[in-house]
Structure 1
Amino acid sequence: MPEVTAPYAPGTPCWVDLAAPDQQAALDFYSGLFGWTGEIGPSETGGYAVCELKGKPVAGIMAAVAMGGQPAPPTVWTTYLTSDDAEATEQAVNSAGGTVLMPVMDVMTIGRMCIAADPTGAVFGVWQPRDFPGAGIVNESGAVIWNELNTTDRDAAGAFYETALGIQSAPMDMEGAEGYFSLSVGGRPVGGMQAMPEGIPEGTPSHWLTYFSVPDTDATVAALQEAGGTVLKSPFHMVAGRMAVVKDPQGAPFALINPKPMNES
């Protein structure tokens, strides 16, 4: 089981969460699809639900509600990048041309966070861990396996993330991955970046896309459709495995992939 036992290095994706209009329906959907367990949390946390797989935290689901005069957040999965100093990262985001959408705030004793957008408009979270480091299991069926930035300006995005968060980008030297960039922290790949894919609906903004690992992409897509989800891109073979891009019943997009074994070409 690929449990996370070491702290996440700054710049590394460490958590994903979903804001859903119907929180309980989202919990039921993802529990059925991935085998997660989770329930609506206490009122002092806004009901935030930490979903678990095999007893380890894998993702969060919260109610999408308007707060402080602000509109309710969109129904999307948000990728959180690790920081050892959220306030310093917030300043770096501003200096590098990004936009802070939600200033740094304490989340009880578990960490500090903010929400920002890069210069191309892709929204992401920043997480400074205290008691809670992030996902306790990754790269296993039902858990996050990849975080991908789809951007309208790859050069601008690459420069921003390196300046603000120390994430380096470089072309992937792999057949079938032409035009795809690796995002690395300390020489270790932690995600990917590409120009906005062909066929994506016109007007789609730059965004981070969460990939969940599954044992059978086609079977999972069928189960998703049976549960009320929709398919944006039907299952297809690509360099890393067999994947699909889908939406949950409330409209949140994400990707599914049955990864190839590391030694399989």
Structure 2
Amino acid sequence: MKLTEPVPGGPCWVELSTSDVPGAKAFYAALFGWRPETDPRPEAGGYTVERIGEDAVAALSPLYRPEQQPAWTVSFATKDADAAVDAVTSAGGTLLMGPMDVFDQGRFAVAADPSGAAFSLWQARAFAGAGRLNDPGTLGWTELRTPDPESATAFYRTVFGWTVDATERYTHWGVDGAEFGGMKAMGEDEQADTPSRWLPYFTVVDVEATAATALGAGGEPIVPPIRIPRGPAVAVLADPQGAVFGVHAP
């Protein structure tokens, strides 16, 4: 069973910080059919919600700092952002931003686990998060790449209470047994300076066709399309600004 909607402890939103918002709008429209809707208020800073139909599925925003690298960030739902921050820091994580209110939409914070993998915390008010999960063009999986799976398991179980189904090669995360993501240890194939990170995977119908579209739109393959034994077809791609994400066909 997979997680099908935002629930406390599970992924509820995914957001791209990018150096080229107009370019990202065009790229992801070609890739996933997203329809961008930019908040016109000056205080929103150009924040753009991406939609499929009327459902919000992701967001784009300008970089917060000039030195920041374009990247996707996964948000996890919480009933109390301030209490979640306390849990993060008590478990050895780091607070990077917030907590702060976002208009009437909710309250958020940005944190990092002990290995440096960043993620957001979202306390919903008017906005609960993604209107769809696991449909084509929407968030379908979240994967942690880390050098220390044992410590990561202890951290996330403490902070979110996730259920864990682990083998020697891969760990599956869940909320009360409903899976939403996994964890893979960084291996010899990783570059020495590759940071720990959360990688969002978007569901698609055809991984090879999506990878070809990404290449034609200025992206590049990081991991070419492959079929996981007894699992999904997957690929890891980078958009034209260098933000890395995955696609999978269950």
Same fold, TM exceeding 0.5?
yes
Could you tell me how far 1:142 is from its partner in structure 2? 0.8
Q: CA RMSD in A?
A: 1.7
What is the CA–CA distance in structure 2 between the aligned matches of 1:208 and 1:163, rounded to whole Å?
18
Count the aligned residue pairs. Answer: 247
**Structure 1 pair 33/148, CA: closer, same or farther in 2 (3 Å)?**
same
- Provide the C-alpha distance between the structure 2 equivalents of 1:128 and 1:207, rounded to a whole number of angstroms: 22
TM-score using structure 2 length: 0.94
Rounded to whole Å, the distance in 1 between the matches of 2:67 and 2:159 is 27
The 1-side partners of 2:134 and 2:69 are apart by: 26
**2:133 paired residue number:** 138
Alignment match, 1:257: 248
Structure 1 ranges of 4+ moved more than 4 A: none
Instruction: Identify the residue that residue 243 of structure 1 maps to in structure 2.
Output: 234
* CA gap 1:146/1:218 in 2 versus in 1, 3 angstroms: same
**CA contact under 8 A between 1:24 and 1:40: conserved in structure 2?**
no
Q: Which has the higher contact order (CA 8 A, sep 6+)?
A: 2
Distance verdict in 2 for CA 1:192–1:30, change over 3 Å: same
| Residues 141-167 of structure 1 deviation map (CA, whole Å, 9 limit, x = unaligned) | 111110111111001111111111222
2:58 aligns to what?
Answer: 59
TM-score by length of 1: 0.89
- The residue type equivalent to 2:238 in the other structure is K
Q: 1:89 aligns with which of 84, 91, 109?
A: 84
Q: Cα offset for 1:236?
A: 0.7
Identity %: 43
Q: Deviations over 1:53-83 (max 9, x none)?
A: 12201000001142xxxx5532111000111
Q: Is the 2:3–2:178 Cα contact (8 Å) retained in structure 1? A: no
SS in 1 for 2:88: helix
Alpha-carbon distance between aligned partners in 1 of 2:106 and 2:67, rounded to the nearest angstrom = 23
* Alignment gaps of 5+ in structure 2: none
8 A Cα contact 1:152 1:205, kept in partner: no
Q: Mark the runs of 5 or more structure 1 residues left unpaired by the alignment.
A: 173-177, 260-265
Distance 2:7 2:133 in 1: 15
Residue number in structure 2 paired with 1:15: 13
Measure, in 2, the Cα distance between the counterparts of 1:138 and 1:16. Answer: 11
Instruction: Name which of 73, 86, 91 aligns with 1:78.
Output: 73
